[in-house]
Structures are given as structure tokens and as C-alpha cells.
Structure 1
Amino acid sequence: RQIGAEAARTEWVLFSDADIVFPSGFFSRLPRHFGADCVYGSKLSLDAYRASCRGFSYGQQLLHHAGIPAASGSNLALGRKALFAVGGFDRDLVCNEDSELVWRVKRAGFTVRFAADAPV
């Protein structure tokens, strides 16, 4: 993800996974959240993992409302300014590097928003 972020030349960088199917209207809903510096949403599933993903999504919402970002790199948009102000992804982490990055973005004073209306 960090290599992709460094190669990007846009103001915003959207991170996702190869198996993600963006629902209809996803990209038209996303800009309404761009008043924030970082936007993340839920990852849902259409297969056997549906219940697990739904539970994780619920947990993301609860944690966000408690002030704890629980971002997933499968549905994460970051403004370049915030992304690089905190040094980007920690390449030494083997998991949860997405949530850790968003936590650093929040602690640095940038605005983080959970986009409940933009699941993937």
C-alpha cells in the first residue's frame, strides 16, 4: 500500500483490495466526506463471511463513536497531506497497519470520518 501511495499523484488516495466489488453509487457518495482528511468505511461480504463482516462493521461504528478509529485498508481514503504528514504506512507491521495509520492520522490532529453510507 505504501508503494502505491508514493506513486499516486492525486490529492486523495483510495485503498482497497483485489477482491472488492464497489457497489453502485459508491464513488458518487464518497466526495461528501471529503471535508475530512481521512475517510473509511465498512467491508461487507456476499459469501460465507457475511456474518463476520457484518459484526466487524458494527464494531467499527461503535469504536469510531468512542473516538477509536478501526479502519480497514479495503475501504480507506486518505488525503495526501495527512497520509504523508504522519509518514504513511508502517512497513514493519505485518497486520493492522491500516488501523495504526489512521490512529496516527487522528492523533496528529487530522479529521477522521467513518462513512457508514459507503461500504464495499
Structure 2
Amino acid sequence: MLPVSVEAARDAGAVSAHYVVLRLPWEVNPLFQQWLEIHFPERARRVMNRVRDMRGGKEYGSDFSKRMSGEAVLADLIRQHFVKAVQRLGMNLSSGRFAELDTSRFKRPLVVPPLKAQQFGKATGQLDLFS
């Protein structure tokens, strides 16, 4: 499934790819498990066991160094599989086209003095984004 997804992304114009293993923050976890039980009851227990395997036995881990990529054997296998798929398809793992971004034509915007809130009939100095 992973190489097919990466290949489809490349065919749609992607020049680089990254991944994040399934994250189930506090509010999302019960919703996801309920959805899983409704739509894939025969796989629900196995899926959640794999999630726990990649999260040190927990359903969610907030540790900055592990929350996007997971940990343990399964997470490492996913990473290896992803890296091989991206390399085989000639995509970039890190920066893609943005490494070649030309900033030489960038010009700083003019600094406009702040407007008084009364000019816009508002009690605060914050302007509307689309006004």
C-alpha cells in the first residue's frame, strides 16, 4: 500500500514525500476507535495493537522525538519501506523543489503606520483579514 500511495503522489506532481505514523491525540482516539469498530470490526484489535507497539505500549505518545515516526521494530520497518519507495521513484526525502527556491527577487513589504481602531469602527486595533 505504501509504494502505491507514494507513486500516486509522484504521478500527481509531488517532488518530495514525508510520512507520519498514525497519531491519536486525546480527542481523536475514541472517535477513531469507534469508527474502526464500526467499519473494520475484524481488524480493530489488531490495528490498535500495532498502534500501541509503535507508541511504547500506549495509544498516544507526545514525546517530540517519537510522536511523528513512532518507535520499535514496526516503526523502523515502515521507515525503511518508505525510504526505499521514495528512492525507487526518484523523489526527494528532505527538501524537494524548495531547496531551489530563489529568494533574490524578494522585497520586504512597505511598512505602513498602524491605523487607529476608530477609523474602522472597532474597539480593538486588530483589522479584519478580508476587509
TM-score norm. by structure 1 comes to 0.28
TM-score norm. by structure 2 comes to 0.26
- Structure 1 or 2: larger strand share? 1
- Structure 1 or 2: larger helix share? 2
Structure showing greater relative contact order (alpha-carbon pairs closer than 8 Å, 6 or more residues apart): 1
